[in-house]
Amino acid sequence: MSVVNVTLKDGSVKGFAAGITLQEVAAALGHKLAKQALLAQVDGVNKDLSDRLDHDAKVEFVLADTPEGLHAIRHTAAHVMAQAIQHLFPDVKFAIGPAIANGFYYDLDSEHTFTPEDLAAIEKEMARIVKEDLPLKRSELPRQEALEFFGAKGEKYKVELINDLPEDAVISTYTQGDFTDLCAGPHCPSTGKVKAFKLQSIAGAYWRGSEKNKMLQRIYGTAFNSKEELAAYLHMLEEAARRDHRKLGKELDIFAIMDEGPGFPFFLPNGMIIRDELIKYWRSVHRRYGYEEISTPMILSRKLWEQSGHWDHYKENMYFTQIDEMDYAVKPMNCPGGMLVYKLHPHSYRELPIRAGELGLVHRHELSGALHGLFRVRCFTQDDAHIFMTEAQIKDEIQNVIRLFDEVYATFGLKYHAELSTKPENAMGDDATWERTTNALKAAMEDFGLAYVINEGDGAFYGPKIDFHLQDSIGRTWQCGTIQLDMQLPERFDLTYTGEDGLKHRPVMIHRVVYGSIERFIGILIEHYAGAFPAWLAPCQVRILPITDKHAAYAKELAAKFFDLGLRVKVDDRNEKLGYKIREAQVQKVPYSLIVGDKEVEQGTVNVRKRGEGDIGAMKAEDFIALLQKEIAEKR
């Protein structure tokens, strides 16, 4: 009997009879593992547990609490949904049904128009199929046999997919009970592993994403390892809908997107206050960290964009115009203008590093279907900075930027994780330069103690980068800050400095943004705070509510005092009941409401209501001012 040697995760090696299934290997290692395993990684490749081992291999079992395990659950859930649909709507033709981030979907061709009521019926049938715990059995078919099988069932989309596969492709199907699907796999061993699922929505989708093809119906769903995880995710979605920055932006008069300018946001007075406070804070932080501020033109000549490489590498995202019969482009990035500013004067090593910040308005062509509130727009303000330095200064400067980012994100209560993005396919420059710059970023992060993961092939075309992914108050992540190390543009623009040896040297350059885009960052903050901005950012910090008309004069006197101190205040002296005014202030998410009546007028006090806490009692007007000023100064 021949034996295969299996190297396990802990490095131990065990021998098994050749031809043993991975499920049998799991059972031999322990009953608990056999029950919990969904897949196995054989030499790093995900395999079904029904697969057999006929060679020595490294084997690691995949459990439900891993990304690979969750993907398998969702992939299997798509098949369970398709089987349920086949039972309820036998005339449906199936297209594709993959697992995706956060869930799964299936594209369907049907004369029946699916409704939310149908989703409830499909879920019920899915639950029955899951309870049956049907095994998923993989089969490999010759091309002609596969074509005949799906052709006989009228599954034209499956036939088209098979015909498009290479001649030597392995054509595999998975069968669970009375349902067979064309699929490469792998899958959970049985339908019973799909423990918690929810069908979420119905949308239209062109077959293969082409508008030249038929519009199909797409049913989206999600699945998790447990009902608790599913409930937490669905709660997060409800919270996200409640916090949607497009809805709150309209309700709180922060910004508007109009038909006259799709993708070009209008900031209203409340939005401008938030924007100006963010910029004011940005400038104060950067001043402390040794930055100077510049501003470069919005429109620059084609020659500049050719020199920078954007004309060849970024042209499809740019807007163009002609001036005096010459080609110009509206800037999609601030970098080339920053190069020109550096070149205006000769530089010595004694000046370096030079840290030049810029709040530059940039324009990028985005497809209309990709536009999304403030998150995806066609013009936005990048809080850019370009740092010019010697190679010996790379580590210190990168760590200085990380410290700045850490301080800024902590101010907003945003945690983060870092990703190192490496050389993309369309990169400029040679491999040796890319390796050197990538290793420099790694060394700086590791020495700083910043944990990171590798994001292969997602660097900028001119250099590797560190991306900062922020986590908001309901657990979602957003990519905002970035640090990009660039040895290409200094070469292209022939940037130099005079070294200690009296010779010309090429500086190294860092591109970096902390907010990323001020517009997008505002959108993130709206959702992070659910519109309830901290006092230092709130468009209106204090609303004064006189109980009757006779208290309005005192309210206005207080408001004038607050205004002179730079506080943002409004008086609500409408002829409305006090309860109505209080609710209105709550709806507008004002941090503090001050109620004034006979007692307050007589004693020079205010009765304070704090957002989220309610009535916190009476205090002298001066004491309240001191309390608010302290809260604003500390950016609590």
The residues that are catalytic are: 335, 364, 382, 384, 386, 465, 511
CA distance 54 to 210: 43
Q: DSSP secondary-structure letter at 489?
A: H
DSSP, residue by residue, 207-242: GGG-TTSPEEEEEEEEEESSHHHHHHHHHHHHHHHH
One-letter amino acid for residue 266 of the chain: F
Q: Please state, in angstroms and rounded to a whole number, the distance separating the CA atoms of residues 305 and 421.
A: 24
- Token couple for 78: 């798509």
Q: Could you tell me if 543 and 572 are in contact, meaning their C-beta atoms sit under 8 angstroms apart?
A: yes
Residue 426 structure tokens: 């369309």
Backbone angles phi, psi at 459, to 5 degrees: -70, 170
| 266-267 vs 3-7, strand pairing mode | unpaired
The DSSP string of 157-168 is: HHHHHHHHS-TT
Tell me how crowded residue 123 is: count the other CB atoms within 10 A of its CB: 15
CA distance 166 to 446: 45
Please, which residues have CB within 8 angstroms of residue 388's CB and are 6 or more apart in sequence?
A: 342, 347, 352, 353, 354, 356, 490, 495, 497, 507, 508, 509
Q: What angle (nearest 5°) sits at the alpha carbon of residue 526, between those of residues 522 and 530?
A: 170
Grouping H, G, I as helix, E, B as strand and the rest as coil, residue 314 is coil
| CA nearest to 347, candidates 556, 493, 449 | 493
Tokens, residue 407: 């301080």
Q: Which residues pair with 554 in a beta bridge?
A: none
Q: How far apart are CA 429 and CA 489, in angstroms?
A: 10
> What size, in residues, is the chain?
636
Question: Which H/E stretch holds residue 562?
Answer: helix 552-564
Please identify which residue in the block is written with the tokens 């291999």. 57
For 289, the 3-state DSSP assignment is coil
Q: Which two tokens stand for residue 187?
A: 């899958």
Which run of H or E residues covers position 508?
A: strand 508-513
Joined tokens for residue 454: 């590798």
Q: Which two tokens stand for residue 65?
A: 């609490």
Contact present, 495 and 507 (Cβ < 8 Å): yes
User: What span, in angstroms and rounded, lies between the C-alpha atoms of 230 and 236?
Assistant: 10
Q: Which of these, 172, 235, 208, 171, lies nearest to 95 by C-alpha position?
A: 208
Distances in Å between the alpha carbon of 538 and those of 53, 150, 273, 531, 560? 63, 61, 8, 9, 18
Taking a C-beta distance cutoff of 8 angstroms, is the pair 64, 148 a contact? no
CB neighbours of residue 510 within 10 Å = 24
CB distance 222 to 81 below 8 Å: no
Element (H, E) at 382: strand 379-389
